[in-house]
Structure 1
Amino acid sequence: MRRRSILAAGGAAALPLGFPAAARAEEAVDLLLVLAVDVSRSIDDDEARLQREGYRSAVTDARVVEAIRSGMTGSIAIAYVEWAGADYQRLVIPWTRIGSQAEADAWADALNRAPRVALSWTSISGGLDFSMRTLLESPFEGTRRVVDVSGDGVNNSGMPVEGLRDRLVAEGITINGLPIMNDRPTFGRPSPIPLDQYYRDSVIGGDGAFLIAAEDFEAFGNAVRRKLVREIAGLPGPVFG
């Protein structure tokens, strides 16, 4: 049965002009990776810029491209998702094969051109649910499936995050975390424990799951790069690090 497209769910998909054509059906890649990015109101314009620059610089980093090229197929596929409250998730950049420096550069350029929307509340559970549906609609066949969640706050909207985590893990999906240890107060319910501990206890899960915390938005790019190298290579990382 043909699956209903998720592109219209939770907001319109942003498809950058001039981006490479859609993948051939069932093309094999080493990893299907959803980058699930918090765009709630606690992240201001300057922090959002640092966040996107972090992803752009990490994906185009020579060490990341080398890790991609070292896999069995020499390629991965990435979908870039943004999420905020329970009623807002969107596919900003659709599934894209990356197997060379040129393809990594094209992906980063598309992210640079994509518009950003900031909304209130933080629904990690909504982001995970949308990411799972994004994985189910991938036009690629991946050996591994990973959702990489980054954000600066706890779940304060929608379903409890632990239930969604368990659903993804039951489907064989690994969830890794990149908590941003922002020293600014966040909107909604504050975390009763440090954010990296909250991610460890309530967000990450699955085979080899790990998290790498960014001390702040300035340190975000380096944390993303370290995390991507481990994810692409299929290596478990530190639970804290």
Structure 2
Amino acid sequence: MCATMVAAICVGWGADRARAEEPPVPDAIVPLALVLLTDVSYSVDANEYVLIKEGYRMAFADADVIATIEAAGGVAVTYVEFSDRNAVETVLDWRVLRGKADAVAFGLSIAAAPRTSAGNTALEAGLREATRKLTESPFPEARMVIDVASDLAWDGGRAAASRDEAVDAGVTINGLPIIEQTRVASIDGRLAFPDYQPPDGIVGFFAREVIGGNGAFLVEARDFHDFGDALRRKLLRELMIAKN
């Protein structure tokens, strides 16, 4: 990646952000409304954050993803970052993507946006905000999906309650667990070492306590370098479900 792109991605999150948000068309009809909910807690270091942002740029520039967006009739997307309970922020509000220009521009906007926080990990707060955005969105006829990307492998059971509330509201939660064997994470101020992970690891945690709803699934990223390809495969599957 060029130095200019890395610099743009790594801008401090305390700086003012120019997000170039475009309001959605109020009466836009799309088959899928998708919240891209991304963990930016301090278990994700600066280099890993760059890989995540580049993964989004690559996925939304992928020819197969673009073709599937077009075939599905479009998709409404919003990008949200979370770390602790007071750090859940919409970086890019609802956009309607219809084809190549829209998709590429959206991916570039994600890649260029500065990081919003780097605190503890409160997945349940992120899920509640993503659910609110979907249930209050201007796309009432669309399939409602939250796409969770995180390296969190355990949270003491808190995510499951938020997951159940989302499912009760008609939302589907899909997971993109990022496997990180040696990371030390922080959950509500407490360190979560690998020994605290469930026996079935992050994938098992996502399967039991994070994903849920009609047609829910997960696609694991082997590590942060694999994030972009895992995201591409996940988007294709979500778009195909919405298309059908």
Runs of 4+ in 1 over 4 A off after TM superposition: 11-15
Asked whether the equivalents of residues 154 and 202 of structure 2 are also in contact (C-alpha less than 8 Å), the reply is: no
Task: Give the corresponding residue for 1:238.
Answer: none
Task: Give the corresponding residue for 2:153.
Answer: 154
Q: TM-score, normalised by structure 1?
A: 0.85
Asked whether the equivalents of residues 89 and 116 of structure 2 are also in contact (C-alpha less than 8 Å), the reply is: no
**Which structure is higher in helix share?**
2
Give the gaps of 5 or more residues in structure 2: 1-13, 186-190
String of CA shifts for 1:174-201, please: whole Å, max 9, x gaps.
0000000012322222422310000000
With over 3 angstroms needed to count, the CA separation of the structure-2 counterparts of 1:142 and 1:182, relative to structure 1, is farther
Find the aligned partners of 1:13 and 1:145 in 2 and give their Cα distance.
31
How many Å apart are 1:142 and its aligned residue?
4.0
Give the gaps of 5 or more residues in structure 1: 1-10, 236-241
Find the aligned partners of 1:14 and 1:210 in 2 and give their Cα distance.
33
Task: Give the corresponding residue for 1:6.
Answer: none
Task: Give the corresponding residue for 2:180.
Answer: 182
Find the aligned partners of 1:208 and 1:219 in 2 and give their Cα distance.
24
Q: Match of 1:67, as an amino acid?
A: T
Query: What number of residue pairs does the alignment pair up?
Result: 220
Find the aligned partners of 2:93 and 2:18 in 1 and give their Cα distance.
7
Task: Give the corresponding residue for 1:7.
Answer: none
Find the aligned partners of 1:142 and 1:45 in 2 and give their Cα distance.
38
Residue 167 in structure 1 maps to residue 170 in structure 2: no
String of CA shifts for 1:96-120, please: whole Å, max 9, x gaps.
0001100111112211221113422
Aligned-pair identity (%): 37
Find the aligned partners of 2:213 and 2:74 in 1 and give their Cα distance.
22
Asked whether the equivalents of residues 24 and 140 of structure 1 are also in contact (C-alpha less than 8 Å), the reply is: no
With over 3 angstroms needed to count, the CA separation of the structure-2 counterparts of 1:155 and 1:119, relative to structure 1, is farther
Find the aligned partners of 2:141 and 2:163 in 1 and give their Cα distance.
20
Residue 208 in structure 1 maps to residue 223 in structure 2: no
Asked whether the equivalents of residues 175 and 205 of structure 1 are also in contact (C-alpha less than 8 Å), the reply is: yes
Task: Give the corresponding residue for 1:116.
Answer: 115
Find the aligned partners of 1:167 and 1:39 in 2 and give their Cα distance.
23
Task: Give the corresponding residue for 1:43.
Answer: 44
How many Å apart are 1:227 and its aligned residue?
0.4
